[in-house]
Amino acid sequence: MSSEPLKVAVQTIQKTRNATRGALLWGYEQRLLREVRAHGHLPRHLGLILDGNRRFARASGLQREMGHSIGADKAHEVLQWCLELGIPAATIWVLSTDNKSRDPAELAHILGLLEKEARSLATDPRIHANRV
């Protein structure tokens, strides 16, 4: 699949997910936020291991690249939660050396996503406004 149809498919999934999330999960997220804040202690650092994107794609009938793209989108969501909750630091593990034997096209896609996301984060006003 070329990158343009993949990009359109990711955007469509993101829009659908956002609409569904808005309709179905808003109440759950609000309850979860109240519970997290009620305990008084939040971590100062969150470690996030991006794992299972290929399994998710396979189980959902999607191409593996789509699973990685959706995983990147989910990482954005988690980082936004960190900002909202006031968690000042996050470390994201994207790729293990165990994965270096994967198909070169899959690795190229993952590394391309990593580069794109790093460039995007470098200019994201939320990063600078929150002194991340």
Contacts by 60-65 with C-beta closer than 8 Å and gap 24+? 63/1, 63/6, 64/106, 65/1, 65/6, 65/106, 65/109
Query: What would the two tokens of residue 122 be?
Result: 């470098």
What are 93's strand-pairing partners? Answer: 49
Closest listed residue to residue 44, CA positions, set 118, 132, 108: 132
The catalytic position among 98, 99, 103, 124 is: 99
Query: What would the two tokens of residue 53 be?
Result: 């994107």
Report helix, strand or coil for 85.
helix
Residue 51 is a catalytic residue: yes
Q: Whole-angstrom Cα distance, residue 94 to residue 53? A: 11
The catalytic position among 18, 51, 53, 98 is: 51
Query: What would the two tokens of residue 108 be?
Result: 């190229």
Q: Would you name the residues annotated as active-site residues?
A: 51, 99
